[in-house]
């Protein structure tokens, strides 16, 4: 039996358009999925769209469309964006899929049967943008800091509540025994909040018809967050060949949805008596030229912009290189250009071109490649920047240094010294391509083909310089 590896991205809210925030999470999951496939694991990589809730209904209304028609129109913008970036997800889940809706109802029923649900009146500030009630401490100048002021409204309604507080002690205990929250700093943040006291959370909405009806009270629909979180589990239930993949090995998420994914989701699963995920990893955000990325500032970077400038693999590389792991990552198109030219055009691309020309027709024996433990660990910890630096130091920079040292172009073709250094460099390039393959799949395949058996130069330059 192969090891299984089940990785998810958050499902993206359908009223948005893909930007580098979504893109970095999706590319990170793709790199992990591809590396684990290289390791021989059975991989299930899931992404998708979150399509319920008031906000979606309002957007559809603005466009004068039936809500489902609106969702069917927008979902492909994500599906196509990921296709263009060569994302290898095994399935794309949409929460309006009736198969998902059925699993949501079953899971909510389990929570209800457990006695973890009660009806109560809810009054408070609600952000339509976030689709959640805000506490006094969430408010900045009386409104949600993430959305325009008019999105924060006073709301009062009868809802079904989930006994989240009941599970706080159990979650603290689990976290003390086995941490599932990474990076570590986030664990401390969550534990502190759990210890300071947790309120129950409403699980349904009274006046939002665009949602999944509660099985025991058809006048209410499931709160969009409850419905959305269940996607990670539902896909393994309604896709027959994915049944063995639960629990997820890794949920990737952005820091704004930490609490939902590390507390509410786990508590829902505990209540329904379903195993909880092995690990969650929360990454930080992108800043663009020192500023928060926002539509109003007009500085949102889209995946299309990156692929048009740098090609698919160039874009994937730049995202991985700048991945906002523990801290926010400050990026900008100019800096992306510099990075691309330095690493890919001048360094890797130039090396491949020099060596393949000098070593033309030289035969190297192929050998089996295996993922080095150190590299695997760095990728599993989402330290892509360090992982890439390791590949460059280990194989690419070393080869460049050897070439400059020996200067094989000055030696006769049959000179053993020349053959030796070109063989060494060719093997290093082949290894680099193997390690870089999860990040730049197409380019690395091209490199591998040029450095297999009889060496030949690639048909065209791999990374044209960008002015």
The alpha-helical segments, DSSP class H, found in 5-53 are 20-38
> Residue 57 or 146: which CB sits closer to Zn ion?
146
DSSP state of 97: -
Give the number of other CB atoms < 10 A from CB of residue 244: 11
Residues that bind Zn ion (CB under 5 A): 127, 129-130, 144, 146-147
Tell me if residue 381 falls in helix, strand or coil: coil
Nearest approach, Cβ of residue 127 and Zn ion (Å): 3
Q: Which distant-in-sequence residues (6+ apart) come within 8 Å of 182 by Cβ?
A: 279, 280, 281, 282, 381
> Residue 147 or 402: which CB sits closer to Zn ion?
147
Nearest approach, Cβ of residue 52 and Zn ion (Å): 17
Nearest approach, Cβ of residue 128 and Zn ion (Å): 8
Cα 454 from Cα 429, distance rounded (Å): 14
Cα 77 from Cα 221, distance rounded (Å): 27
> Residue 17 or 146: which CB sits closer to Zn ion?
146
Catalytic residue among 62, 73, 119, 295: 295
> Residue 85 or 134: which CB sits closer to Zn ion?
134
147 is catalytic: yes
> Residue 25 or 152: which CB sits closer to Zn ion?
152
Using a 10 angstrom Cβ sphere, with 0-12 exposed, 13-18 middle and 19 or more buried, the burial of residue 139 is middle
For residue 364, what are the β-bridge partners?
453
Q: Which distant-in-sequence residues (6+ apart) come within 8 Å of 409 by Cβ?
A: 358
Nearest approach, Cβ of residue 47 and Zn ion (Å): 23
Do residues 322 and 329 touch, judged by C-beta distance below 8 A?
Answer: yes
Catalytic residue among 142, 195, 292, 449: 292
Percent helix, strand, coil in the chain, to 5, is: 50, 20, 30
Distant-in-sequence contacts of 337-346, Cβ < 8 A, 24+ apart: 337/309, 337/466, 340/310, 340/314, 340/463, 340/466, 341/465, 341/466, 343/317, 343/388, 343/392, 344/314, 344/317, 344/462, 344/463, 345/463, 345/464, 345/465, 345/466, 346/465
> Residue 144 or 429: which CB sits closer to Zn ion?
144
Q: What b/e string do you get for 338-359 counting C-beta neighbours within 10 Å, with b at 16 or more?
A: ebbbebbbebbbbbbbbbbebb
Catalytic residue among 22, 100, 242, 261: 22
> Residue 133 or 310: which CB sits closer to Zn ion?
133
130 is catalytic: yes
Q: Which two tokens stand for residue 218?
A: 């058809």
> Residue 191 or 258: which CB sits closer to Zn ion?
258
444 is catalytic: no
Tell me if residue 6 falls in helix, strand or coil: strand
110 is catalytic: no
36 is catalytic: no
Q: Which two tokens stand for residue 227?
A: 């419905």
Distant-in-sequence contacts of 144-147, Cβ < 8 A, 24+ apart: 146/256
166 is catalytic: no
Cα 172 from Cα 174, distance rounded (Å): 5
100 is catalytic: no
> Residue 129 or 215: which CB sits closer to Zn ion?
129
For residue 254, what are the β-bridge partners?
283
Catalytic residue among 114, 147, 151, 155: 147
Cα 322 from Cα 330, distance rounded (Å): 8
24 is catalytic: no
Do residues 328 and 285 touch, judged by C-beta distance below 8 A?
Answer: yes
Nearest approach, Cβ of residue 182 and Zn ion (Å): 26
Q: Just list the catalytic residues.
A: 19, 22, 127, 130, 144, 147, 292, 295
């Amino acid at each position: 039996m192969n090891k299984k590896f089940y990785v998810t991205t958050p499902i993206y809210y359908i009223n948005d358009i893909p930007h580098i925030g979504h893109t970095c999470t999706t590319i990170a999951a793709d790199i992990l999925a591809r590396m684990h496939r290289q390791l021989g694991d059975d991989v299930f990589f899931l992404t998708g769209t979150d399509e319920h809730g008031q906000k979606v209904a309002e957007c559809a209304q603005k466009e004068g469309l039936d809500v489902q028609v609106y969702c069917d129109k927008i979902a492909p913008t994500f599906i196509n964006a990921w296709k263009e970036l060569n994302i290898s997800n095994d399935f794309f889940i949409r929460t309006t899929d009736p198969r998902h809706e059925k699993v949501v109802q079953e899971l909510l029923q389990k929570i209800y049967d457990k006695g973890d649900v009660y009806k109560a009146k809810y009054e408070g500030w609600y952000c339509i943008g976030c689709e959640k009630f805000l506490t006094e401490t969430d408010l900045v100048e009386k409104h949600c800091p993430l959305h325009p002021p008019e999105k924060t409204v006073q709301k009062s309604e009868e809802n079904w509540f989930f006994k989240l507080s009941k599970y706080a002690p159990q979650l603290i205990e689990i976290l003390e025994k086995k941490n599932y929250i990474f990076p570590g700093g986030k664990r401390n943040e969550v534990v502190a909040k759990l210890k300071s006291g947790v309120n129950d959370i409403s699980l349904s909405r009274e006046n939002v018809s665009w949602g999944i009806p509660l099985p025991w009270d058809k006048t209410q629909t499931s709160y969009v967050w409850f419905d959305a979180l269940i996607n990670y589990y539902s896909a393994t239930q309604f896709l027959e060949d994915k049944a063995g993949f639960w629990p997820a090995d890794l949920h990737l998420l952005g820091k704004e949805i930490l609490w939902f994914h590390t507390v509410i989701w786990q508590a829902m699963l505990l209540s329904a008596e379903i195993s909880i995920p092995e690990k969650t990893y929360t990454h930080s955000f992108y800043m663009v030229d020192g500023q928060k990325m926002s539509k109003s500032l007009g500085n949102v970077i889209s995946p299309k912009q990156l692929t048009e400038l740098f090609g698919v693999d160039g874009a994937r590389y730049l995202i991985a290189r700048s991945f906002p792991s523990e801290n926010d990552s400050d990026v900008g198109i100019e800096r992306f250009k510099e990075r691309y030219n330095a690493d890919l055009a001048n360094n890797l691309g130039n090396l491949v071109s020099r060596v393949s020309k000098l070593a033309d027709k030289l035969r190297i024996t192929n050998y089996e490649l295996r993922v080095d433990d150190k590299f695997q660990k760095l990728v599993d910890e989402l330290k892509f920047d360090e992982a890439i630096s390791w590949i460059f130091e280990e194989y690419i920079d070393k080869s460049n240094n050897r070439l400059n040292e020996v200067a094989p172009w000055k030696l006769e073709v049959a000179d053993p010294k020349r053959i030796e250094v070109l063989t060494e460099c060719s093997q290093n390039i082949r290894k680099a391509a193997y390690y870089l393959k999860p990040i730049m799949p197409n380019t690395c395949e091209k490199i591998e083909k040029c450095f297999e058996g009889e060496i030949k130069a690639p048909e065209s330059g791999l990374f044209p310089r960008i002015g």
